[in-house]
Structure 1
Amino acid sequence: MPDSSIDLKDDFFKRLNTKDDYSNNDNLNEFWKILREQISSDFIQKFGIQVILDKMRLGNLEQFKDGGDVSTIRNAENGVFVDLDHKKQYEKEFNRKDYEGRIIKDDNGRIIGDNRLAKQRKELFKNNKSISDAYTGKKLTKDGTTHMDHITSAKNIYNNKKARLFMSDNDRNDMAVSSSNLAPIDGRMNQSKGEYTLNEWCAKERDGHSNIERFDINTEQSNSLQKKSEKFISKTVNAHARKEFFSAATERGFQQAKRKMYGVILYEISNIVLEEISSFISKWCSYSKITDKLKKARLVFLRINQRVFQRIRNIKELLEELFVSVSTGFLNGVLSTIITQIKNNFLTTIQSWNKIFQDGFSSFIQAVKIWATNPQKLAKKDLFTSVQKIVVAGISTSIGIVLGEKLRSALINILPTYLSEIISDAVAVLISGCLTALVIYSLKHFGHAIQQFSKILNDSINSIKIGLTVTASEINLAYQTAVLKIDDSYSEVLKSIKTQYEKLNKLAELAHDMNKLASAQLSFSVSYAETSGVSDTNILHNSDEISKYFLE
């Protein structure tokens, strides 16, 4: 007889066979669902349009440079320039003759000006009855003893990094010999002054006397001239820097405007083409004859042609859409140039990241417009999700295209061109899609992640607080108590396992006891199987099920 203290009807082993929580693939399934949604949407279409626009050289990777489109001193100091001309003028060695004026010619080679120092001195003698020293006020003679002095010296202009970076050799030469930076003075003073600034030279001493005393300098007048020159130099250099920036920003703006315009046109056409071709393919099997299929195909292309021209005829609507896109594109190009220049004052950005930033910023501008206008009248939550996807997809697509282009460049040396392009485009699509899905999934669960992080942070803080307020002996006592509790818990677990195996053993004995009636043996066998965790569908419960199993 079985031990009456043992409950033979128990699901202990069945419970041991339940599914492990850690094998749950809900998170992974959700990720794949998001990825399928992205791929099944117009992602591929938009990706293809971006690739076409890149091949049209409207913002492709080759048109971006390390450091961006605008020069910065930081980039120049690190050897990064927007073009070779900037590199040459910045790194050119000092030569005083480059700052003594020049004969100015137009594009056809005709002389249109002459601002050389000798020429200016000659004009000064010719146009003035008498000449006074600009620093002393003393009268000068109209001969070789009168010099034209650079108030801000040629060497100081050369040492101005901003001037070297943003101004060509000719521009700096013209600035150096401008009337705002020249002063007629005694030749002895000019030779003594050399490459010093006017203030430095005035303060310099010889034989215990400053140059102010030696040459009887009018300090009020010399200071005024120095300030006037410095203001002129600063204003001129900054004007050239602004000119370069506005030129680069405008160029980038027009480039992005064209990209947006062609993008809208390609998107409109591709929508029409995809709709018509998808409809044709879905009905392909319903056309029994080849002639019918060819006839329907011809009709498809006629409808595509008609719909495209119909869209063009709605010129007002199309122009409004193009105007908005072009304006947005131009604004995007200008703003991204501003931000890129600010970034490059602190960190030199590389070519690939400049393109990714440009495309990402373009998506951000589009998202802001959608958020502000909400054309589909979405609820705030859905609208927020929509603009998130726009930004994420824009950045991910750009990253995919950049990496695909890098891969294509590597493969083109070992594979045929067409094959390297197919592989690189496929990889780019895969990277872009997975990245988009991953970021969207992460943003969706961002709140949960923050909660988990906060919990861990709070637990850590509490642990630190305990460590600061509880003595070592108290911690040791708590530890010993916990160990005893663990030992007790393990004892209970082991006792429970032993009891369950005793139950299982009793059931096995009863199921195989030949002294029992067949019906009793069958009942115990069923209990044995159920207790062992066997699925109910795999258990034979009675003689009818046994006969059906073996005879059918």
Structure 2
Amino acid sequence: MSSDAFDMTLLVEVDLKEIILNEGTLQNSHIKKLLLQYKETVLTTIISQFGLGPIFDSYKNGGNVTTLHNAEKGIFANKADEDQYTEAFDCGNYEKDFPKKRKLNFQTSIEITDDYTGKVLKKDGTTHLDHVISAKAIHSNNGARLYMNAEQRDEMATSERNLAWTDSSLNQSKNDKDLEQWMDRENKRSPGKTNAQHYEINREAAVKKNIEACKVDRKESRNKIFCIQLGVYRGGPRSAIRAETGTGYVHL
């Protein structure tokens, strides 16, 4: 046992004896005062042992880290955080490598299959790459913009599991909509038919693709955004201790 822990235990034992001896006269105010003293002692010991001083100072005073809570109120610790958080959406930023990917796939694949319909696609301009979870949805996530830089967000959006080969007309119709919600909507060109029916989508394959993309999105978010820093500044000191000491994980 460390000397700090021993001293703290001794103090507890002495004060408990005092409580027992004065049980009849001890007032609630005295109990509250005593508990507050113990709270401060325990907190100080933990901070000292695990080197959490700077973290708690930052959390208490706002520090030099922009919290998601503050960012959503327009309060930023520095200009770099503000610029990254307020960056306007540009689809082109999430499709920079698409021409290279299309060219490579055209050259190396005997045939290209539509990930949503199962049909064979042509090796021309009518074959598109689609973000299953749209790039706009990723960019519009406040946490993604604050805790991930442009390159990290692009990696999430262009992960192989979040990309689908499909026909240009289907891609343009889906646009930035949620895949499953879009499938169930009425098609503008075929009144009375859903988009799934109009484009002859293989629902089972499309739903499976959507689930895979959602798994990647959650995994990347946990790994790159909601790390120790997020545990500290969103979860509070208790989460900070768990993350810093390895005694638990910070979940979304």
Q: Name the TM-score, length of structure 2 as normaliser.
A: 0.65
**Partner of residue 235 from structure 2, selected from 338, 342, 367:** 342
Counterpart position of 1:90 = 85
CA–CA separation in structure 1 for the residues paired with 2:125 and 2:61: 51
Counterpart position of 1:161 = 142
Counterpart position of 2:152 = 171
1:100-134 Cα shifts (integer Å, max 9, x gaps): 13xxxxxxxxxxxxxx1111111111221111100
Instruction: Look up the SS of the partner of 1:209 in the other structure.
Output: coil
Answer yes or no: is the 8 Å Cα contact 2:128–2:167 preserved in 1: yes
Cα 1:122–1:75 shift into 2, 3 Å: same
Cα 1:82–1:232 shift into 2, 3 Å: farther
Q: Read off the aligned partner of 2:72 and give its amino acid letter.
A: E
Trace 1:290-439 onto structure 2 (pairs within 5 A): 338=232, 341-343=234-236
Counterpart position of 2:75 = 80
Answer yes or no: is the 8 Å Cα contact 1:202–1:210 preserved in 2: yes
Counterpart position of 2:163 = 182
CA–CA separation in structure 1 for the residues paired with 2:70 and 2:236: 11
User: For structure 1, which runs of at least 5 residues remain unmatched after alignment?
Assistant: 1-57, 102-115, 247-336, 345-360, 362-552
> What is the total number of aligned residue pairs between the two structures?
184
Report the alpha carbon displacement of residue 73 of structure 1 after superposing the two structures with TM. Answer: 2.7
Q: Read off the aligned partner of 1:77 and give its amino acid letter.
A: E
Q: Read off the aligned partner of 1:234 and give its amino acid letter.
A: R
Bigger Rg, structure 1 or 2: 1
Q: Read off the aligned partner of 2:126 and give its amino acid letter.
A: T
Q: Read off the aligned partner of 1:342 and give its amino acid letter.
A: G
Trace 1:503-514 onto structure 2 (pairs within 5 A): none
Report the alpha carbon displacement of residue 86 of structure 1 after superposing the two structures with TM. Answer: 2.3
Counterpart position of 1:106 = none
CA–CA separation in structure 2 for the residues paired with 1:74 and 1:236: 21
Q: Read off the aligned partner of 1:228 and give its amino acid letter.
A: E
Report the alpha carbon displacement of residue 189 of structure 1 after superposing the two structures with TM. Answer: 0.4
CA–CA separation in structure 1 for the residues paired with 2:63 and 2:146: 15
Cα 1:69–1:236 shift into 2, 3 Å: farther
CA–CA separation in structure 2 for the residues paired with 1:71 and 1:63: 10
CA–CA separation in structure 2 for the residues paired with 1:158 and 1:135: 24
Report the alpha carbon displacement of residue 75 of structure 1 after superposing the two structures with TM. Answer: 2.1
Q: Read off the aligned partner of 1:152 and give its amino acid letter.
A: I
Q: Read off the aligned partner of 1:205 and give its amino acid letter.
A: E
1:42-82 Cα shifts (integer Å, max 9, x gaps): xxxxxxxxxxxxxxxx96xx978853465543222122334
Cα 1:342–1:183 shift into 2, 3 Å: same
CA–CA separation in structure 1 for the residues paired with 2:172 and 2:200: 16
> Greater helix percent: which structure?
1
Cα 1:64–1:160 shift into 2, 3 Å: closer
Counterpart position of 2:194 = 210
Report the alpha carbon displacement of residue 201 of structure 1 after superposing the two structures with TM. Answer: 1.4
CA–CA separation in structure 2 for the residues paired with 1:137 and 1:230: 21
Are 2:214 and 1:225 equivalent residues in the alignment?
no
Would you identify which runs of 4 or more consecutive aligned residues in structure 1 move more than 4 Å? 62-66, 68-71
RMSD between aligned alpha carbons? Answer: 3.0
Are 2:131 and 1:150 equivalent residues in the alignment?
yes
